[in-house]
A and B are shown apart, each in its own frame.
Chain A
Amino acid sequence: MVISPVHYIALPLLAAFLMPLLAKVNRELVRIIPGVVLTYLLFVSVVLMQRVTETGQPIIETLAGWQAPWGINLVFSQFTGFLVSLMVFMATLIWIFSYRFKKVDNEPALKYYILFMMLVTGSVGVVLTGDIFNMFVFMEITAIASYSLTSFYRDRDGAEAGFKYLLIGSLASTFMLLAILLLYTQVGTLNMAMIAERMHTVPVGMKVTILILFLTGLGIEAEMFPLNGWAPDAYSQAPSPVGATFAALVVKAGVYSLIRVIFTLFDIQGAYQYLIIMGIITLIIAEFAAMKQTNLKRMLAYSSIGQMGFVLIAFGIGTKEAVFGALFLMFNHAIIKSLLFMSGSFFVYNSTSKDINGMSGIGKKFPYMGFLFSIGAFAIVGLPPFSGFWSKLYILIAAADESMLALVAIILLVSIVEIVYYFRVVAKLYFGKPTDKEVVHKPTFGGYFSMTVLAVVILLVGFYPDIITGFIHRAADTLLDKGAYISNVLSMGH
């Protein structure tokens, strides 16, 4: 069997269907299987990325033996491959982090691992697929797994957060369905390359309507204003590995779909301006809201929304450098925010309240964890020499190149806000008066391991950004080359 992109979908599904049976054989298998699958997928990513980088051509896999546009196909290009590899890498680390999750309770553990694996598969599928309706199906897989995982815990407001998420998510899927329907009536196909090829035949009014429907439907997963009301609750109520998964995978899939629709499917210039405007609003509102939060996880959630606004701005600028910066920021956000969520959840776990005030002085008790959190905090606000610095710098340069000086000013201003609220937490951790109410829970070995790996990656990329920029540059080029995407997909087998 040759290694091909469909392994990303088929094997997790096979494992998910097998797991209820294997759980009857041995309880431990439930925890091991997702890890085995994810590790294998990491291997697949390495092999495929190597192949794609060597040939410079995307791998396009037809499914069920039907060429595009008759059947569904998977596109593993340098762009989607980069995102998928990042997602699988993060998912593996999150799996290691949550290995001992629900150790005593067997039934919920089974459900947790199945849902977690499907959350990963759904996000990866959204990125890989070359078919718009198939993308919708994968979004629904992601969404249903997210709703269930958000309301996983019974001792907090999980069900409330889950219901809010579900409400917005269902409306979003309605909009997306309508958009797909209208698109189908206009171009008569569901393959994204063919849609892009035929897009110029669609009347302008119809095009704008469809685009608006798409933006509303997809903006929800991408946490775009004003559709992100679900995010702070979901992030703070979900189990912390799931919070990290939202930040590292689900949001990335949402942004990807938004970008794919605007960059490849449609040829409307106004969409880019729209991205910038929505990005700025999202950024400003989220960062100021984050400053007001007293709950650590809510603060991290708002910060996550803000970062996504930043990504949208960068994509909206639309030049090669800006797209490069945006992809770099997506990479950084995935690793840094996961580190923050993991170490943050440890603080929450060890203090009596979820409030930032309840954590004062905890950094003295757990110097290593405090150190990790500080690395994450410094990296995400963009201080040198951490990895976050480079992405912010590239985006600022790209904005300055396009002489969008107001934009540069806004980004710098918001960065100050960011610095203020992250430093407030770090200061509290180290210089706050330790409360003696804390209960000591040491993180597991897996927890230490994955957090250390993330911190090392942050520092490594910070000092030697060149190890990753090559991939991102090629990814940005691939994304912007719309003609190549169309011809590559449609020329299969012709």
Chain B
Amino acid sequence: MIFNIIFFSLLAIIILAAAIYAVVQKDLLYAVIATGVISLVLSIYFFIMQAPDVALTEAAIGIALTTIIFVITIRNTSRREDEIPVNKEPDREEETK
């Protein structure tokens, strides 16, 4: 019982800490890793709450794929939340009708 309480509180602390870290961290790559940690803890939660199907889905989609598409996005855009804007005019592509 005591072990369970410690375990659950540990999970709660990790998941909330990771969420807060993901929000306050200015370096987006670290923030995204933190969301990966959230997914990981979430998947542990699902597993111990007897939802192995959901845990597997969260592990495959939440930890691996969501994280990677975030990383790809960051590589294509800017990595810092407090980026310095480039003073360029927006460039538009021409549209075919």
Chains A and B touch each other in the complex, with CB atoms below 8 Å apart: yes
Chain A residues engaging chain B, CB cutoff 8 angstroms: 102-105, 153-156
Q: Decide: A153 and B96 in contact? CB cutoff 8 A.
A: no
Question: Which 5 pairs of residues, A with B, have the shortest CB-CB distance?
Answer: A155-B95, A154-B93, A105-B96, A155-B92, A104-B96
Q: How far is the CA of A156 from the CA of B92 in the complex (A)?
A: 8
11 A-B pairs, CB-CB below 8 angstroms?
A102-B96, A103-B97, A104-B96, A104-B97, A105-B96, A154-B94, A154-B95, A155-B93, A155-B94, A155-B95, A156-B92
**Most chain A CB neighbours (cut-off 10 Å) among B92, B93, B95, B96:** B95
Please tell me which one of the listed residues A102, A105, A154 contacts residue B92 in the complex, with CB atoms under 8 A apart: A154
Min CB–CB distance B76 → chain A (angstroms): 14
- B92: nearest chain-A partner, CB-CB: A155
Q: Which residues of A contact B93 (CB under 8 A)?
A: 154-155
In the complex, what residues of A have CB within 8 A of residue B97's CB? 102-104
A102 to B95, CA, bound (A): 10
Complex alpha-carbon distance, A105 and B93, angstroms: 14
How far apart are A149's CB and chain B's nearest CB, in angstroms? 14
Return A181 CB to nearest CB of chain B, in Å: 14
Report how far A153 CA is from B97 CA in the complex, Å.
10
Assembly CA distance A103 to B96 (angstroms): 9
Residues of A within 8 A of B94 (CB): 154-155
A391 to B21, CA, bound (A): 55
B77 to chain A, nearest CB (A): 13
- Residues in A neighbouring B96, C-beta threshold 8 A: 102, 104-105
Cα A155 to Cα B93 in complex, Å, equals 6
A contact residues around B95 at 8 Å (CB): 153-155
Residues of chain B within 8 A (CB-CB) of A105 are 96
* Cα–Cα, bound, A102→B97 (Å): 5
Contact flags (1/0) for B75-92 with A, using CB distance below 8 Å? 000000000000000001
CB of A143 to closest CB in B, whole Å:
19
Instruction: Report A-chain residues with C-beta under 8 Å of the C-beta of B92.
Output: 154-156
Separation of A104 and B97 alpha carbons in the complex (Å): 7
Q: Which residue of A lies closest to B96 (CB)?
A: A105
What is the distance, in angstroms, from B67's C-beta to the closest C-beta of chain A? 18
Report the minimum CB–CB distance from B70 to chain A (whole Å): 15
Query: Please, which residues of chain B bring their CB within 8 A of the CB of A156?
Result: 92
Count chain A CB atoms within 10 A of each CB in B93, B94, B97 and give the residue with the most.
Answer: B97
Which A residue sits closest to B95, measured CB to CB?
A155
Closest to B90 in A: A157
B11 to chain A, nearest CB (A): 21
Q: How far is the CA of A121 from the CA of B56 in the complex (A)?
A: 31
Smallest distance from the beta carbon of B42 to chain A beta carbons, Å? 15
Complex formed: what's the CA distance from A155 to B91 in Å?
9
CB distance from B62 to the nearest CB of A (A): 16
Contacts of A104 in B (CB 8 A): 96-97
* Chain B residue with Cβ nearest A101: B97
Expressed in whole angstroms, the Cα–Cα distance for A391 and B22 within the complex equals 52
A388–B92 alpha-carbon span in the complex (Å): 40
Cα separation A459 to B43 with both chains bound (whole Å): 60
Tell me how far the C-beta of B12 lies from the nearest C-beta in chain A, rounded to whole angstroms: 20
Contacts of A155 in B (CB 8 A): 92-95
1/0 per residue, CB under 8 A from A, across B13-24: the answer is 000000000000
CA distance A155 to B94 in the complex (A): 6
* Minimum C-beta distance from A151 to chain B (A): 12
Q: Looking across the interface, which residue of chain B has its beta carbon closest to that of A155?
A: B95
A102 — which chain B residues lie within 8 A by C-beta?
A: 96-97
A105–B94 alpha-carbon span in the complex (Å): 12
CB distance from A243 to the nearest CB of B (A): 16
Q: How far is the CA of A102 from the CA of B93 in the complex (A)?
A: 15
User: Least Cβ distance of B89 to chain A in Å?
Assistant: 14
Q: Tell me, rounded to whole Å, the shortest Cβ–Cβ distance linking B63 to chain A.
A: 20
| Complex CA–CA separation, A155 to B96 (angstroms) | 9
Give 8 new A-B contacts, CB below 8 A, not counting A104-B96, A155-B94. A102-B97, A104-B97, A105-B96, A154-B93, A154-B94, A155-B92, A155-B93, A155-B95
A229–B35 CA distance with the chains assembled, in angstroms = 29
Q: Given the complex of chains A and B, what is the CA–CA distance between A154 and B95 in angstroms?
A: 6
Complexed CA–CA distance, A104 and B96 (Å): 7
- Give the Cβ gap from A108 to chain B, nearest Cβ, in Å: 8
Considering the complex, give the chain A residue whose CB is closest to the CB of B93.
A154
Complex alpha-carbon distance, A259 and B95, angstroms: 40
Nearest CB in chain B to that of A154: its residue: B93
User: How far is the CB of B46 from the nearest CB of chain A, in Å?
Assistant: 15
Measured in the bound complex, the distance between the Cα atoms of B96 and A85 in whole Å is 34
Bound CA–CA A154/B90 (angstroms): 12
Question: For A154, what are the chain B residues with a Cβ–Cβ distance below 8 Å?
Answer: 92-95
CA–CA, A10 to B77, complex, Å? 39
Considering the chains assembled together, what is the distance between the CA atoms of A103 and B97 in angstroms? 7
B3 to chain A, nearest CB (A): 29
